[in-house]
Structure 1
C-alpha cells in the first residue's frame, strides 16, 4: 500500500513501504526519536543524502561522522516511515555468522579464499559490534552466546556433516570455533526433540531497535539531519552536477546519494528490480506464565529462537510452511498483513520443539511480519551503483544483515569519503555490486536465482 501522494514508478510502484505495518514487540514502547525530523523543512541541499534510516543507513551516517570528524559536510537521512521501522526493527536481532552453511556455494562460485572472506568478515563484524556497544555504552541487551544449528532428519544431518567436514579440510581458522555433534547425545545437548545432529559456535543477540535509536541519537547530536516519514519518490540527476531527491514534502539537492533502503531499493533504482526482491518473513514473541519456570535456553538457534531479557522467547522463520505460497511472501511489501499460511505455526511451538517445555504454558504473545531484501544470488549489493556517479548502495541482505552491516557500512563510509574503489576496502569481493550481477538477474529466470531455486528466507531445518 503506497504512501499518499507517492507517484508510481513504472515497474516498481509496489516497492514502497506499507502505510500501516503490524506492531512489533521491539517497538511496543516507541523511542522519542522514532518520528524525528531534525528540521521543520527539508534542507535545500545536502552533501550526502542517505535513503533509509534502518541499520544500513544509520550505521553509514554514524561512520561518516565518527570515523571522519574533520571532514566538513552536510548529511541528511530520509526515511519513508519511522526510524528503524523496516526489517531492522522487526527482526530478531540475531548477529549470527554463517561459518559453513552457504560457504561451499561461495567457494564453488569464486574459490576457497572468497568463501572464507565472507565467514571471516562476519566473525569480525560480531566482535566489532560488541566493541562499539561497549564504547558507546549502548543499552540494547547485547549478549554473546553459543548458537546452534539443529537437524532433525537423518538425511539433513548427513549433508550437514559432509559440509562441516569439507570446511574443516580447507583449514579455515574460524572453523576452530565450530563443534559438530552427532549420535545419541545430540538431543540432550541441544534440547530439541528428535535432533539428529547439531553444530555449535559463537553468535550474538541484541535488541536491534534500541541499538539503532541509540546511534540515531548520536548522529543527530553530531549534526546529521534526520527526516522521518519522508518517502523518496525519485532520484534524478541535475544537469549541473548532483541529484534532485524528490519526496512528498519537496525536493532536496544532493551531492552524493546512498541507497540504504534494502527491500525497497528498486522503487528508486529500477535497475535493481530483479536483483533485490522484497520478501516477507514472520516473527513471534512467546511468553510463559509468571508462575512458571521453564528450562533455560542458553543458546540461540538457527530457527531464530532467542531468550529475551524479560524471559520471553523471540522466534522467526517458518519458511518450510509458507515457502510454496509465493504470493504471500515473495515480491510482497505489505508488512501490515501476516503470512496467512504461517500465522498459526508458532502456537504450541515451544512445547512440541523443546524438551522440558511441555507443561510450561508457553503461548504466542505477539506476532508480526517484516519485509527483507533478497538478492538474486544471495549476496548483498554494496558499493558504487554501476554506471552512475556519486551514487552508492548498501542493500539486499537476505535476512542476514545483522552479521554484516556494521562493518560494511564502515567500509562504505571510506569509499564515500576517500573516493576509494571497492577493491581497496576489507569487504568480501562477493558483496560488490556490479553491472554483471545486475545483468545476470535481469537476464535470468526467477527459478534460476537463489531466492527460489537455491535458498529461502529462513534457515529452518525441519
Structure 2
C-alpha cells in the first residue's frame, strides 16, 4: 500500500468516509508494536487488510520446526488496520458458484471452472473454523444467498449457466436451488422477481474478523505491526529488498504486496491489471418504535435492466447493509474508474438506497426504514476478472495477493494460506491448492497492456 498523504497517485487518502463497521475502532486499530521500525525483517507484508492479516495469520499459526526460530514478520499499513475495502464491504461471505464460474468454463475448461468454484465454496468452512478456533466475535451467520433477477433475459442466462455446470458434472451445484418466476417472488420476498437461485453462504462483521485474526498474530514475538506507515517504494539490493517509508527503510528477504486497489502505486507493471474502482455502501435502520420485517437470507438483487446489482445482508439487530447501485453511475466513468478517493461519496448514488427496502421487498412498504450511515470504498478490479496471486514476474522474493474484484471474502483467506506456504516452504504456486487461473504471470500482465482499456470482461 502506498501513501496516506498521496506520495503516489495510487495511494490511500488521509480522510476517508467512516463506515458503520468502523464506528467503534478495535484496540489494535492504530497498533505500532515498537516505537521505531525494525531495520530488517525476514518478511515484510505491505497492507493491513484482510489479505495482509490472513497471510500473517497463516505464517504464524502454521507448524514450525522446533529446531528453527520463526521468521521475523513486519506488517505495514498506510492508514489503520482494515481501513480499506474489507472494512467497508457489505458483510457477505458469498461464493460465486455459477456466473463467473461459467465464464471460466468458457475460457479455460471444466476442470479450471470446478477448481475455481470449489475454492470459493471451501472458504465458508475454513473461515467458520478459524472463527471458532480463535473465538472471534464477528456476528458470523451461516445462511443462504438468494440471487434474485428482475430481468427475464438475465434470469434465463443465470439458469443456463447453472444448468451447463450441472450437466458438466460439477457436483457442488447440488447445493444450488433454482426457483422459476411462478414462485420466485414468494420464495425470495423480492417484488416482481423473475427467478432466483439460492446456495449456502455466510454473513459477518469483516472488520471484527480481521481484528480477531490480528489479535492472534500479535501474540507472536516474531511479528511487528506498524500502522500509519505508508510504503513509498520497494527496491532490490540482491538478495534483499529495501522497503522504504517516510519513517525509515526496512531490509527484507521477502516482500508481499497485499495492496489490492493500490497495487500500481508500488508495482506499476500492474497498472492495467488491477484498477482502483470506487463503490458505495450503506447501513439502513428501523425507527426505535417499529420492529423491522424479517429477512432470512443474504441477497444479490439484479435490476430490471439486467445490467447491475445490489448486495444485501440482514444483521442480527434487524438492520440492513446494502451496497452496489453501480448502474446508477456506471456511465460516468470519471467518478469511479481509476479512483482512489474514498473521502467522498458518489453523488449519483448517494440517495439511491433512501427507499430501497420499501420499493424492493414485500412487507417493507410501511417499514419507515432509512439510511443511517453511508460510505465509499475502493476496490481492486482485475483486467481478466481473476485475482493476481503468486511471485511477481521477474522479481524473485516478491509476492502479490491482490485484485479481488470487490469479491474478496470468499477468496482472500485461503489465498493468504497459499502465499504463506510459498514463502515459508518455498513451494511452487501449483503446489499450494490455489486455482490455476489466479497465478500472476507475465502473459497476464502483457494481455492487459495490449488489450482494450479496462479489459474485455471488466465490470463493476
Q: Judge same fold: TM > 0.5, yes or no.
A: yes
My pick for the range that moved more, 298-307 or 375-384, is 298-307
Q: 1:4 to 1:125 in 2, by over 3 A?
A: closer
Match of 2:127 in 1: 129
For 1:447 and 1:370, the matched residues in 2 are separated by 19
TM-score by length of 1: 0.95
**Within the alignment, does 1:332 sit opposite 2:339 as a pair?**
yes
Can you give the 5+ residue segments of structure 1 that lack an aligned partner in the other structure? 8-12, 458-462
Can you give the 5+ residue segments of structure 2 that lack an aligned partner in the other structure? 301-309
Retained in 2: the 8 A contact 1:86–1:370?
yes
Match of 1:293 in 2: 291
The match for 2:390 among 376, 380, 383 is: 383
- Displacement of 1:110 after TM fit? 1.0
For 1:67 and 1:247, the matched residues in 2 are separated by 29
- Displacement of 1:450 after TM fit? 2.0
**Within the alignment, does 1:403 sit opposite 2:410 as a pair?**
yes
Match of 1:61 in 2: 56
- Displacement of 1:309 after TM fit? 2.3
Match of 2:19 in 1: 24
Match of 1:432 in 2: 439
- Displacement of 1:448 after TM fit? 4.0
For 2:427 and 2:352, the matched residues in 1 are separated by 48
- Displacement of 1:305 after TM fit? 1.0
Q: 1:5 to 1:329 in 2, by over 3 A?
A: closer
For 2:5 and 2:410, the matched residues in 1 are separated by 36
Task: Determine helix, strand or coil for the equivalent of 1:83.
Answer: coil
For 2:127 and 2:177, the matched residues in 1 are separated by 23
Task: Determine helix, strand or coil for the equivalent of 2:396.
Answer: coil
- Displacement of 1:328 after TM fit? 1.1
Task: Determine helix, strand or coil for the equivalent of 1:216.
Answer: helix
**Within the alignment, does 1:392 sit opposite 2:399 as a pair?**
yes
Matches within 5 A, 1:57-206: 57-70=52-65, 71-206=69-204
Retained in 1: the 8 A contact 2:3–2:231?
no
- Displacement of 1:214 after TM fit? 1.2
Q: 1:4 to 1:372 in 2, by over 3 A?
A: closer
Match of 1:419 in 2: 426
For 2:220 and 2:50, the matched residues in 1 are separated by 18
Q: 1:69 to 1:93 in 2, by over 3 A?
A: farther
Match of 1:253 in 2: 251
Match of 1:228 in 2: 227
Match of 2:236 in 1: 237
Retained in 2: the 8 A contact 1:5–1:248?
no
- Displacement of 1:59 after TM fit? 0.5
- Displacement of 1:5 after TM fit? 6.5
Retained in 2: the 8 A contact 1:47–1:73?
yes
**Within the alignment, does 1:35 sit opposite 2:30 as a pair?**
yes
- Displacement of 1:4 after TM fit? 7.0
Match of 2:213 in 1: 215
For 2:442 and 2:233, the matched residues in 1 are separated by 21
